[in-house]
């Protein structure tokens, strides 16, 4: 097998591990903590950025095969520490809010105007926290008439 193919697959392997633990921290500390009804696989698939994934695949593959072991460890260990730190609540919540939350949103349906924060925008539903009612609402995407 050529060294380029090996670099690509080893980079993909490391990137999958990083992605798995990143989304696991988000699932545990944000999705489950806010009682959002969502499976891990859907969270992982819907929020995967293919360009970012390919970038890290190529970068980590190059680092692991073409650079010295010392340089590879200096680059890869901080990445793993950051990703594993999402398993701790404050870091996991911060990363999840940065990626998923939209603050100060206004959603209109046929009858109502909601003002609050979008906690998660899924395939069929939006999990929304309404500041006026001080509770979470599950709004269907197809029932929203106005912009978000």
pLDDT band at 146 (very low <50, low <70, confident <90, very high): low
As a whole number of angstroms, the distance between CA 1 and CA 31 comes to: 41
Q: Residue 137: which H helix or E strand, with range? A: strand 135-140
Give me the DSSP letters along 4-37.
HHHHHHHHHHHHHHHHHHHHHHHIIIIITTTT--
As a whole number of angstroms, the distance between CA 11 and CA 59 comes to: 7
Is 148 domain-assigned? Answer: no
pLDDT tens for residues 107-142?
A: 888 888 888 899 999 888 889 898 888 889 888 888
pLDDT band at 46 (very low <50, low <70, confident <90, very high): confident
Distance between first and last Cα of the chain? 50
Residues 71 and 111 in one domain: no
Cα 144 to Cα 67, 78, 137: the distances in Å are 51, 42, 13
Residues 13 and 58 in one domain: yes
Nearest in space to 47 (alpha carbons), one of 120, 128, 104: 120
Q: What is the mean pLDDT of the chain?
A: 90
Residues 120 and 53 in one domain: no
Is 112 domain-assigned? Answer: yes
Residues 119 and 91 in one domain: no
DSSP class of residue 131? T
Domain that holds residue 19: 3-99
Is residue 85 within 8 A of residue 95, CB to CB? The reply is: no
Is residue 56 within 8 A of residue 15, CB to CB? The reply is: yes
Task: Give the chain's domain count.
Answer: 2
Share of the chain above pLDDT 90, in %: 51
Residues 54 and 77 in one domain: yes
């Amino acid at each position: 097998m050529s060294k380029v193919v090996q670099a690509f697959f080893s980079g993909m392997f490391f990137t999958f591990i990083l992605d798995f633990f990143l989304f696991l921290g988000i699932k545990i500390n944000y999705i489950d903590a806010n009682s959002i009804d969502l499976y891990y696989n859907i969270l992982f698939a819907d929020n995967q950025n293919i360009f970012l994934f390919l970038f890290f695949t190529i970068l980590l593959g190059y680092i692991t095969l073409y650079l010295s072991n010392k340089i590879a460890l200096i680059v890869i260990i901080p990445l793993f520490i950051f990703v594993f730190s999402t398993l701790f609540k404050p870091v996991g919540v911060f990363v999840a809010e940065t990626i998923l939350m939209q603050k100060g949103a206004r959603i209109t349906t046929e009858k109502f105007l909601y003002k609050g924060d979008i906690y998660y925008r899924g395939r069929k539903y939006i999990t929304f926290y309404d500041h006026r009612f001080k509770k979470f609402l599950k709004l269907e995407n197809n029932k929203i008439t106005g912009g978000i």
